[in-house]
Amino acid sequence: MIKLNPSIKHHTFVGLFICLWIFIFTYYIRPFDSGNYGNYPWWEFLSFGFSIIAFLSYFITTIFQDTIYRQFETWNILFEIIAIVAFHFLNLILSFIYYKSPFLNGIWNFNEYFNGILKSAIIFTPIIIFARTLTLKFLPKEKEIIKNLPQKKTEEKLIIRGEYKLDILKIKASDLVCVSKSQNYVEVFFIENSSIQSKLIRSSLKKIQTDIPFLIQVHRSHLINIDHFKSWKNSNTILLTQTEIPVSKNYKNNLSVI
């Protein structure tokens, strides 16, 4: 299991870094120069086009990567390899189309072109891995998570409202255990008369999290009141007061305080 910074914004900067590196490498190193392209304008067009294609290829890969991460809620060596190979494959195909276009009219066939690009890819792959690793520095640190956890008054009264007039629940903040998504509703779990009760309210999980900021997201479908945490049942499940909730890997950092 390895970490991934899923932020598209941060990986866009990686794409820009790749774009710049490809331009410099292609223009000055000329990895597949056969001596037939001595004129500088040709290399300027080639390098500029290749750098833009590399950026687009990485950006598309980032979207693909984000889809995988959201689907599986985890990241591992296999997914990392797939992401890097997907970038190289997409970049190979698009750059070859550009290379053979009437604009450049490259003379190499696909096999010759592939051999030339392969050498660059072998050199460039460690740089991509390094750049992707740097994005991990932007993941929230445990101390930041603790500092940014919203505080609450245990005796504070909560009024949870839904879309309908009768969709309303009044409870103490300390009695709220968790909130779970249920299609177009949320199910609010709370303690009443020493036992757990629940109520369906027509609302979204995002709105509940906005209205009740002390709730912590532990899964894309679950928010919890940290005061009701009891223990870990296993690596993917926590026990709360009279209930249990699944925890997805990309939200585990939110529980680093316990």
pTM over 0.75: no
Confidence at residue 68, expressed as pLDDT on a 0 to 100 scale = 86
Is the same domain home to 181 and 130?
no
Among the residue ranges 115-119, 139-143, 156-160, 232-236, the one predicted with the least confidence is: 139-143
Of 139, 166, 198, which marks where a domain is finished?
Answer: 139
In a domain, 77, yes or no: yes
Do residue 103 and residue 179 come from a single domain? no
Residue 18 sits in the same domain as residue 124: yes
- Shared-domain flag, residues 58 and 173: no
- Is 2 within a domain? no
- State the CATH number of the domain containing residue 193: 2.40.50.1020
Residues 185 and 227 placed together within one structural domain of the fold: yes
Instruction: Mark whether 65 and 110 lie in a shared domain.
Output: yes
Please determine, for residue 215, whether its predicted confidence score (pLDDT) is greater than 50: yes
Asked which of 124, 139, 154 is the last residue of a domain, the reply is: 139
32-67 tens-digit pLDDT = 655 555 555 677 888 899 999 999 999 999 999 988
Residue 31: band (very low, low, confident or very high) from pLDDT cuts 50, 70, 90:
low
Is residue 241 within 8 A of residue 231, CB to CB? The reply is no
Same domain, 77 and 164: no
pLDDT of 198 > 90? The answer is yes
Which DSSP helix (H) or strand (E) runs through 71? helix 40-72
CB distance 175 to 192 below 8 Å = yes
Mean pLDDT of 225-233: 91
245 lies in the same domain as 171: yes
Tens digits of residue pLDDT in 117-131:
888 888 889 999 999
Q: In this model, does residue 15 exceed pLDDT 60?
A: yes
Query: Does one domain contain both 71 and 184?
Result: no
> Domain range spanning residue 233?
145-255
Residue 1: inside a domain? no
The answer to whether position 93 is within a domain reads: yes
Which range of 30-39, 152-161, 221-230 scores highest in mean pLDDT? It is: 221-230
238 and 131 in a common domain: no
Which domain-ending residue is among 110, 139, 168?
139
Give me the percent of the chain exceeding a pLDDT of 70. 87
Q: Is residue 3 part of a domain?
A: no
Query: Residue 186 has what pLDDT?
Result: 95
Residues 135 and 229 in one domain: no
Say whether pLDDT at 147 is over 70. Answer: no
pLDDT score, position 65? 92
- Are 37 and 156 contained in the same domain? no
